[in-house]
Structure 1
Amino acid sequence: MKNDKKPKVAIFWHRRDLRLADNAGLYHALNSGLPVLPLFIFDRNILDKLTNRHDQRITFIYDQLIDLKKTLQQKGSDLLVRYGTPDAVWLQILEEYDVRAVYTNRDYERYAIERDDQIAAIMSQSSIPFYTFKDHVIFEKREILSGQGTPYTVFTPYSNAWRARCTDFYLKSYPSEERLDRLCKASDLPFPTLAQMDFTHTNSAFPQKKVSPDLMASYEEQRNYPALQGTSQIGIHLRFGTISIRSLARKAKETSFTYLNELIWRDFYQQILANFPHVGEGKAFRSAYDLIGWRNNEEEFQLWCEGRTGYPLVDAGMHELNTTGYMHNRVRMVTASFLVKHLLIDWRWGEAYFAEKLLDYDFAANNGGWQWAAGSGTDAAPYFRIFNPAAQAQKFDAKGEYIKKWVPELNSLSYPSPIVDHKFARERCLKTYKEALNR
């Protein structure tokens, strides 16, 4: 029996969608006929695993929530923010509110699916519907299939099918921001401090959430040159949903074939994760590559992490990552290839390091990128393609501007000699891969 003294609400649960505009789940919640209470949970199952208590991503989320709360308060509502494990938090909320429905947007990572199944079960025990919606991608799971009705595992045919299907209907915004008068009336809801969660606020400068038309128009020409401001660095905003993928894809469709391609890659890797869940369990997409005899030298791995390999482009990339939480995409490919193929260190080690450091860390894209570099993934670089870091530097940083910025010690006595000879490393890699793949 419902307690009439509790506020009757539908709850919209923010996760990877820290915005009010063009928010699919929020739109549906606001159309429910119930007053809507927005919620965010600082999830201890995630936060407790973070080793860096100065993690810039936590600051980013926190600042976005502060802005969200202020906007909601201007509308006569508020944001409910809790800290704990989702199951414990939801049981507490059910004690405090007469929850009639829960709305949220889907997340496709393994933990997120298990979490949502758990919360849906809790809601089911109280006969509370738990509604989820597509918001983080344009096409999900099995929406784009081959002529044989199977998921694509090669990007180009997937992207062609994606473009053929992507009519204006799929890029249309949800007018959620126009319906905020349907939020529940609330004020002064508690908001845990970062200190209460054992985190410290960092004075980080985060990328803007807008992409200029000029940058998008010149993206094809400039995107491979790390010294140029040729990329949008919009990844962190897409990761946490502070911007809408639909609005960004609309602009890209009008402006830049290549920029839109990068957004299609996001969908591609998400559908790989959904349809081939073994990649989310630490396994190679191509199982034969799990037989590779990795060297896994811990000292060499540490030198790679610290940007002390003696290969300037690799070291510049690692210094940029360690300092800013960002690394240019061309350089990500070079640093990843170097770790896996020059040093024969398991790609999972690099994947975990990037997961810890990248502001825009997204499991599906990070896993896809590392498996591409290792040759073990979908649409992967063939194992015999081994980047020469010196040649890559000459091609994409000919004047050395990027390298000089991030490796100022380059021409000093303190700069190390190369950790391994390129020709030797290439031959060793080819031999090791052939032995594994010819078993």
Structure 2
Amino acid sequence: MPTQQAQLGRASATYIAKILQVSTGKTVWRWRLTERGFASTKAADCDWSLPGILPEGASGKLLTLTITPSDDEGFTSKHLAIEAIFDYGPIQLKYVIWAYPDAPGIRTQLWLRGTVSPVAAGSQEEHTAIVEIAVARRRYIGYYNDTQHRNLASTPLLRDEVLTGTGSETVPWASAAGLESERGVGLLLVQESHKCVNQRGVNTGAFVFDGKSLMCSGLRLAPADITPDRWRECWAVWTIQYDGQIPLSRALKHFARLRYPSDPKRDFYAQANTWGSGGSNGIDSKAMAHEDVVLKELDSVADLGLDALQIDDGWQGNQTQGNHWRPDPMLYPQGWKNVVAKAKEKNITLNLWAASMKISSEDLRWNFEQAYFRSWKLDFASLKTPDQIEQNIAKVRQFILSTKHQTRATWDVTENASRYGYFWAREYGGVWRVQVIKVVR
């Protein structure tokens, strides 16, 4: 393999003499090429282990390695993308590293394609990333789904546990896990998946600590999901460094803002939402999304000095019109025309609710062209298979690209179905979470 090197700002990557070195300008990472793949620690001969897909100890040949600048079609910050393709016979594996300039860590991801034959699992643990430092304590972090029912001190949104002492453990509920030394120097692994503490999602695995090393398992894919006709992606992993000067919370936020950048003009606003204005039952609340009420609500939003109004469930009627998600003509005789005119008069931005898995690409685009909704509260997702995940995300991604990034999703996590979580798919929008605040007068 010929020498490869590239630089983007303070980020750089070099491959020479079977050593891959990647730097963000703040952190440096090294892998050595082995018979099995790339290894970043002395204790392991490869950073990934795929029992049930690859035989234990399977050899892989490095076919290609490229280093190119990228921003993933405008969905993330500019970075160096390092892609290495390995051939394991019937299976090919693509190992992708993203290095953002001045980031406290890197993002890695496996992609697979090929034909999987029945393989004995062997003795190795499945993992997609592995780290190792002198350990004084372990920390496990995760967020809860079903936010509408987490409104008390006894039902927090965050679970954050620190373990000390010797031993080993497997932690399936966490989205992030870290190893810390006595001096507060740490390495944090974050699985970029839809896992929540109370909703594990699709093949999200666990964090496994064996007394020395911390491994992240969970591919997203089962062996039967891997096909020879296209690359299929696994859950990505962030590996973040922190210390006493840059604590964990600051390092994590820094990396997340690079991975999922925001546009203040598009993404920051104060809004009202029509749901719930009509009482506690769904029928009354849906009635608040009818045109006559929405026109009045726009006056209220303007009086309150808010930026936007989100039209929630009900604009399409109690039943959608066939398979079309467009304004119910009985409720909106002229479509969005009157609402758009009133919003323009009041200088209010419009946002819209829709059922994530039901609305089509065509109807997303049609509604956007009629009313230029800046964000979409996408609800009722139940992502139970890799196919459902890919289809739902591909639809949203292509829609956003068709608008030239003028719009974004907001992912609803208010119920406990297998939805979007907190660390995944945020390049397409933010998290919609609702907590009830009771006011005692």
Shorter chain as denominator, the TM-score bin is: under 0.3
Give TM-score, length-normalised by structure 2. 0.25
Give TM-score, length-normalised by structure 1. 0.25
Between structures 1 and 2, the one with greater helix share: 1
